[in-house]
Amino acid sequence: MPRVIDDAWLADLLQRRSLTLTVAGVAAELADTLAARDPAVDSGGVATRALLKALDETWERGWQPADVVHAARRQATAASVPLAVALIGEHARRTDAMSRAPDTWLDQLRELGAIESGEESGEPAVVAAVAAWHRRDRRSAADAWRIVLQLAGMLRWTARIEVLVPPPSRWGTARPGPVGQPAAGDDRVLRRIRGLLAKAESTEFPDEAEALTAKAQELMTRHAVDAALLDAGRSPAGLEVGTRRIHVADPYVRAKMQLLAAVAEANDVRLVWYQGLGIANLVGGRTDLEAVDLLFTSLLLQVTQALTAAERQAGRGSAARTFRRAFLLGYAQRIGERLQAARRQATAAAAAERGVDLLPVLRSRREAVDTAVAELFPRVRASRSRAAVDAGGWHAGRAAAERADVGPRRSSLR
**How far are the Cα atoms of 115, 272, 280, 377 from residue 162, in angstroms, in the given order?**
25, 11, 12, 7
**Residue 176, SS3?**
coil
Query: Could you tell me the CA-to-CA distances from 269 to 185, 202, 203, 295, 362 in Å, in that order?
Result: 20, 28, 29, 13, 12
3-class DSSP state of 399: helix
68-101 pLDDT tens trace? 999 999 987 889 999 999 999 999 999 999 999 9
pLDDT at position 90 is 95
Q: Over its length of 414 residues, how does the chain's per-residue pLDDT go in tens digits?
A: 345 577 888 888 887 666 677 777 888 999 999 999 999 999 999 999 999 999 999 999 999 999 999 999 998 788 999 999 999 999 999 999 999 999 999 999 999 999 864 444 445 544 689 999 999 999 999 999 999 999 999 999 899 999 999 999 999 988 766 555 555 567 888 899 989 888 877 776 666 777 787 788 889 888 888 887 877 665 555 678 999 999 999 999 999 999 999 999 999 999 999 988 999 999 999 889 999 999 999 888 878 877 887 777 776 555 688 888 999 999 899 889 888 988 898 899 888 988 888 888 888 889 999 999 999 999 876 665 444 444 555 446 656 666 664 433 344 453
CA 359, chain centre distance (Å): 32
- Provide the whole-model pTM: 0.84
The string over 1-24, giving b where at least 16 C-beta atoms fall within 10 Å of a residue's C-beta and e elsewhere, is eeeebeeeebbebbbeebeebbee
Residues 6+ apart with CB under 8 A from 94: 52
* Cα-based distances in Å from 240 to 131, 166, 228, 229, 367: 45, 18, 10, 13, 12
Q: Please report the pLDDT score of residue 406 as a whole number.
A: 40
Q: What is the pLDDT of residue 224?
A: 85
Q: What is the pLDDT of residue 212?
A: 83
Cα separation, 83 vs 52, in Å, equals 11
Are 338 and 261 within 8 A, CB to CB? Answer: no
pLDDT of residue 408: 38
Question: Which class for 397: exposed (0-12), middle (13-18), buried (19 or more C-beta within 10 A)?
Answer: buried
Asked if residue 389 lies in contact with residue 333, where contact means CB atoms within 8 angstroms, the answer is: no
